[in-house]
Amino acid sequence: MDCKEFNSLILDFLHDRLDEMKLSEFLSHIEECEDCRDELRIQYLIYEGLERLEAGATFDVDKDLADLMQLQRKRLSSRQGIKMTAIASEIITTAAFVIVLFVVLFYQ
Ligand SMILES: [Zn+2]
Instruction: Please state the φ and ψ torsions of residue 8, each to the nearest 5 degrees.
Output: -75, -15
Q: What is the DSSP letter of 19?
A: -
Helices 3-14, 20-32: inter-axial angle, 10-degree rounding: 120
pLDDT tens readout for residues 8-58: 999 999 999 999 999 999 999 999 999 999 999 999 998 888 888 888 888
The answer on pLDDT for 108 being more than 80 is no
Domain span at residue 70? Answer: 3-106
**From the CA of 71, how far away is ligand 1's center (Å)?**
21
CA distances from 16 to 20, 79, 100 (A): 11, 14, 45
Q: What span, in angstroms and rounded, lies between the C-alpha atoms of 64 and 51? A: 13
Predicted model pTM? 0.69
**From the CA of 2, how far away is ligand 1's center (Å)?**
6
Biggest CA–CA distance in the chain, Å, is: 78
pLDDT tens readout for residues 89-98: 889 999 999 9
The answer on pLDDT for 82 being more than 80 is no
| Domain total in the chain | 1
pLDDT tens readout for residues 65-78: 999 999 999 988 88
**From the CA of 77, how far away is ligand 1's center (Å)?**
22
